[in-house]
Amino acid sequence: MKINSIKMNASLNILYTVSNIVFPLVTFPYVSRILSADGLGKVSFFTAVANYAIMLASLGISTYGIRATAKVREDKKELSKVTVELFCINMISTAIVIVALLLSIPIVDKFASEKVLLFINIALVFSSVLGLNWLYSGLEQYSYITKRSIIFKIISLFLIFLFVNEKADYLIYAFISVFSISGSYILNLWYSKKFISLKNIGKLELKKHFKPMMILFASIFAVNIYTNLDTVMLGFISGDREVGLYTVSVKVKGLLLSSVNALSAVLLPRLSYYLSINETDCFNRILKKSTTVIPMIAVPLTAFFILETNESILLLGGTEFLDAALCMKIIMPILLISSFSNITGNQVLIPLGKDSQFMIAVMTGAFIDLLLNVLLIPEFGAVGAAVSTLIAECTQMAIQLKYTWNYIAKNIQAKSIVKIITATLGCCIITVILQNLVHIPLFEKEINTLINLGIYAFVYFVIYGIMLLLLKERYTCDIFSKLLNCVRKF
């Protein structure tokens, strides 16, 4: 099977991630203004419920499947057998979860009052089985993933602007959102016949997958506690408006985190493959580069969006959502913490098969998040949820670092990290000075928030790049040198 280079996979995954950023930046400001905090809160609540249901039904396959298929990708018969086994397990568990959701309608008032919204999201839960995203990630089929995603995003973009025109259209918005995901899942199932065959796969062995799956499932369940539980608890305790405010504040972090983790996502199957063939030198070489490049992206992004919180909120939600500013400032450091956790977890613990240690770290973080949510959300609402998530993320990252220190310590390049922090501090100071000394006339008008944010972002990141070059940071100089060579050839 032809496998693209890591650079090509990273480029494709970055394109995929950029599409995940650009489309929400186009649709979210429009939708948030049309639906308001209440309508957006309703949709976000049931989306969080659906995400929990999908996570429960997956039983860890979303991560385990990547590793399992990556290891056997050169053997089509074994790949087909593993894929069918995991698909069957997922189908059975999904059916159980859907039945549980249907039975809960008379018991949960919020479900009973919004049955249509619940049914729309149940359709998403069912279609998630067909997605086989773990198969395509394990096979490193990022070209297909990117094309498919962009096509359905374009379709959903037009549908949203055509049919979501007033506050009562939150059901239509939810349906379009589910359609854009479910449509790509159905296409995934059809396309999978290119890689797997149902002929002569032999007797299915489901039991052998349960132990590693359940360990990873416990970990994924814990991670989902502090990615979705905040939204669900806010919906039950503080109401739809607090959910709406919290959704806007975490939206920026979520979009940025997906871009930072674009590189990390393509490394899990490759690192797992290298370890399966005992290529430890290749493993360490990739890890060394990752521990520099990911902080190089995450550190300045975190600092910039803390500086530009109000402008980001205005762009995404308008003045009605400015109360989410403090919440966003608290949440933004999670971008840096989660980026590093992706290195220690997805690039070290999981490829090495240290699933139990990964589980301990994230379950501890989940417990901390649950406890703090119970204590803080009733009093502080969205801000309390933000504080809980930040502390939980710090906890699980610290535990993962303890378990992976022997691998991280020998691969981390301290001089580059110091240069990254120095450059970030420098461009922060210069940007703040410019904001106070230079008045941009358009800044006073909300409609031009994007222009103002773009100007400050341009100044900030140009200065950051120049400072890294002046400090002679290794990878920055390499990238700059390659760009110069490309320009000369052109």
Position with higher pLDDT, 263 vs 306: 306
Question: Distance between CA atoms of 274 and 283, rounded to whole angstroms?
Answer: 6
pLDDT of residue 444: 46
Tokens 């087909």 belong to residue: 80
Lowest mean pLDDT across 108-122, 307-321, 414-428: 307-321
Per residue in 447-478, pLDDT (tens digit) is 566 777 778 888 888 898 888 888 888 777 77
pLDDT of residue 8: 59
For 15, counting Cβ atoms within 10 Å of its Cβ (0-12 exposed, 13-18 middle, 19+ buried), the class is middle
CA torsion, ordered 201, 204, 208, 210, to nearest 10 deg: 120
pTM of the model as a whole: 0.64
Lowest mean pLDDT across 102-111, 145-154, 191-200, 238-247: 238-247
> How many CA atoms does the CB half-sphere of 377 hold within 13 Å?
24
pLDDT at 147 over 50: yes
Question: Distance between CA atoms of 213 and 62, rounded to whole angstroms?
Answer: 9
Query: Which residues, including other chains, have CB under 8 Å from residue 377's CB and lie 6 or more apart?
Result: 230, 233, 234, 237, 238, 384, 385, 388
Structure tokens that stand for 3 in this block: 């496998």
Could you tell me the CA-to-CA distances from 361 to 50, 92, 117, 222, 404 in Å, in that order? 25, 29, 34, 9, 11
pLDDT of residue 14: 60
Question: Distance between CA atoms of 52 and 128, rounded to whole angstroms?
Answer: 12
Which one, of 474, 112, 169, 446, lies nearest residue 293 by Cα? 474
Per residue in 397-409, pLDDT (tens digit) is 899 888 888 888 8
pLDDT at 435 over 50: yes
pLDDT at 433 over 80: yes
pLDDT at 237 over 70: no
pLDDT of residue 422: 92
Lowest mean pLDDT across 120-124, 315-319, 356-360: 315-319
Question: Distance between CA atoms of 304 and 302, rounded to whole angstroms?
Answer: 6
CA torsion, ordered 240, 310, 383, 38, to nearest 10 deg: 0
User: DSSP state, 446?
Assistant: G
Could you tell me the CA-to-CA distances from 200 to 17, 78, 81, 84, 204 in Å, in that order? 38, 10, 9, 12, 11
Q: How confident is the model at residue 214 (pLDDT cuts 50, 70, 90)?
A: confident
Q: How confident is the model at residue 99 (pLDDT cuts 50, 70, 90)?
A: very high
Which one, of 288, 335, 283, lies nearest residue 474 by Cα? 288
Question: pLDDT exceeding 70 applies to what percent of the chain?
Answer: 78
Position with higher pLDDT, 137 vs 363: 363
Per residue in 28-62, pLDDT (tens digit) is 777 777 877 677 778 878 887 888 888 888 777 77
CA angle 6, 332, 328 (to 5 degrees): 140
